[in-house]
Structure 1
Amino acid sequence: MVFAVVLVAIFVFFVIDAAFRPAFDWPSVGKYLFDRRISMAALVTIELTVFSMVIAIILGVILAVMRLSPNPVVKSVAWFYLWIFRGTPVYVQLTIWGLISLIYTSIDIGLPFMTPWLSFSTTAALNTFTLAVIGLALNEAAYMAEIVRAGLLSVDKGQEEASIALGMSWSQTMTRVILPQSMRVIIPPTGNEVISMLKTTSLVTAVPFSLELFTRSRDISAETFNPIPLLIVASIWYLFFTSILMVGQYFLEKRFSRGVGDRQANKSDAGGGAGLTGAVPIVGAGQPTVVLPPTPDKPGTGGTR
């Protein structure tokens, strides 16, 4: 209780201090919180998050299946992909994507070592928004692949064998048996990755892409020479989106964890009056003894036969 009181006192002191500290400039925070430039940048941040995560999840599932493949070539290619994209910083990867036009000046479609059928300039075909989505998605796919693989491995092998014994195809087994059971393992870390992706979008300035929330607020603060209020504005928007994602994650986890840990004792055992029924072998008797359950109108009836 003393520790709790101390924590509350520290929190109250911090709030009061922040409310009257001139550097925070709360009037400016209120002025720019719903500024059109900030709200548009927040929308762009959501677009970056959604597009990148959709691509990352699809590619992550493919990589997870490749990692579980018995083919050593397919498994090695997936492992090499994960090694590259998990072993280098995302900021470095985004910087390389921003310089992709220096590496590949054009995008050619056709047969190798022959005149291409179609050719596009890289800078014309890929704008900075597209490059930011590609960079974020390819990096995130490496982490999603391991999350999906862990979820698939969490399902007992006997489930797949039982499905095959029932005559289910591979697709039916995956969609009706394996994936529904693995989702309770996949959903929690995936929700964390979505929240992490929302904040990672602040790094796309390396592409360079400057229309997302953090970079836009930083550009405005460079005009006003007052960076702290704009940082608070960006933080409030990030917290708002993160709170929505956390609520959605909670309900998804609750939906896919139904039936886990919800076993209850048999109601007939709760009163202590009911016992074992059926055929019970007796050692040395040569034949089983049948235990009869009591009837509802005569609780005292029953016995053995």
Structure 2
Amino acid sequence: MRWLRSFLAAALLLCVAAAAAGWWWLERPLPLRGERAEVSIEPGTTPREVVRLWLDAGVDAPSELLYQWFRWSGQARKIRAGSYEIGPGTTPRELLDKMVRGDEVLENLRLIDGWTFRQVRQALVDAPNLKQTIQGLTDEQVAKLLDLPGGVVEGHVFPDTYAYSRGVSDMTVLRRAVAAMTRRVAEAWPTRAEGLPLASPEAALVLASIVEKETGSPGDRGRVAAVFVNRLKLGMPLQSDPTVIYGLGTKFDGNLRRSDLTTDTPWNTYTRAGLPPTPIAMPGLASLQAVLRPDQSKALYFVARGDGSSVFSDNLDDHNRAVNQFQKGQRK
């Protein structure tokens, strides 16, 4: 019996020593072959495959030991898909905690109020670590993938900053931005003032895009919206230069000529009455709210002062005087 007691004591000491060694290892920084290690874990990746990803990325640790830690922790199946990065000082315990929490490395994409979808597409191309899937597709094809009616993406993307995981697709980000615009329009439409000449939320979106492009000073946005609302009520052409420029597309060279104003396109609001058929840019929330609740104003005209703000006029004579003063340099 003495030998059995000795054996059990030795076994117990070995277990204690193994536990102590394991605890020590869990709290020690993982050796790295480089300054940092980064992995992208796809949905459905097994714990053993996760270990292999980290070793391939530069973690210099025994694979079986790391796997057994994931397994015996009871949290291996809680590891979340995503992009992760660790640097010097990260312990095995911290590594697992990071993946279980979903503490990913995120990139940011900023979409600016007033951008066209052409600019959005370029921003998606330039975005770091974003999987490209829509290059080569037409706007109409992208609209179909996004379930947007009429084959139109323009104006249906909400300008904001979007955080995304490394390796996700451009369509993933686009879907979020389209959903954000859909939600904003749905929330804003019921708040509209009575008597607006806007038959639908889509019409509000179109007008908001024009206001977005026409407003140089945020303080003028409500009055700019009022001018266009007043014109629509009277059946006057909107005569908005940004709509003409949009209709010219890639033909526009930065210089809007008088001949351009008479060149008919579906977006030329000098040659065609009413709203253009689609938005001409991404309106921000402030522009959307402005067209749904414009300032109380009788103004039918406005002209830029040159400092970002505008002069508003109720009649053509006053407008012409403002044009002479601020655009032609003639003071009368």
Which TM-score applies when normalising by structure 1?
0.20
The normalised TM-score by structure 2 is 0.19
RCO comparison, higher one (Cα < 8 Å, 6+): 1
Q: Which structure is higher in helix share?
A: 1
